[in-house]
Amino acid sequence: SAVISQKPSRDICQRGTSLTIQCQVDSQVTMMFWYRQQPGQSLTLIATANQGSEATYESGFVIDKFPISRPNLTFSTLTVSNMSPEDSSIYLCSVRPGRPLLTDTQYFGPGTRLTVL
C-alpha cells in the first residue's frame, strides 16, 4: 500500500481567505484524487489530479474555487479559495497506485480538518 501524508492536519480559517492543502505520497502513483467529507457525512469526489495537466472536476466543483496542482507523481495540492463556513469539512487525498500493483484500490490520507469562521 501507499503511505500518504497531508498538511496541515487541521486549520481554522477566516471567511474570505484561502488555504492550500498538501498531499505527499511515499511512492509514485498513477492517479490522485481529492475528496470532501462534510461533518458526519459521506465522501464526495472533488476532482482527479492529473500529473502535468489540468485537474478533472466533478459536477458542482469548479477550478476557481478548488484549484489543484500536481507537479509530479508523488505530490499534489488542493486550494480552498475565498472560504465560507460552508467549506468547513474534512478534505482527503487518495491515490491509486500504479505498477507493480495495478489495482483499482484507492488509499486515503489522514485528511485535513478545516473549520471556517
Partner 1 sequence: QQQVKQSPQSLIVQKGGISIINCAYENTAFDYFPWYQQFPGKGPALLIAIRPDVSEKKEGRFTISFNKSAKQFSLHIMDSQPGDSATYFCAASIETSGSRLTFGEGTQLTVNP
Segment interacting with partner 1 (CB under 8 A) among 13-21, 69-77, 80-88, 102-110: 102-110
**Whole-Å CA distances, 45 to 21, 42, 49, 93:** 16, 10, 11, 10
49 contacts partner 1 (rule: CB under 8 A):
no
105 contacts partner 1 (rule: CB under 8 A):
yes
Name which of 14 and 59 has its Cβ closer to partner 1.
59
Q: Is the dihedral of CA 55, 3, 41, 16 positive or negative?
A: negative
57 contacts partner 1 (rule: CB under 8 A):
no
Place of cell 474570505: 16
Name which of 54 and 84 has its Cβ closer to partner 1.
54
> Do the beta carbons of residue 97 and residue 103 sit within 8 Å?
yes
45 three-class SS: strand
Q: Which residues bind partner 1 (CB under 8 A)?
A: 4, 31, 33, 41-45, 48, 56, 58, 92, 94, 96, 104-111, 113
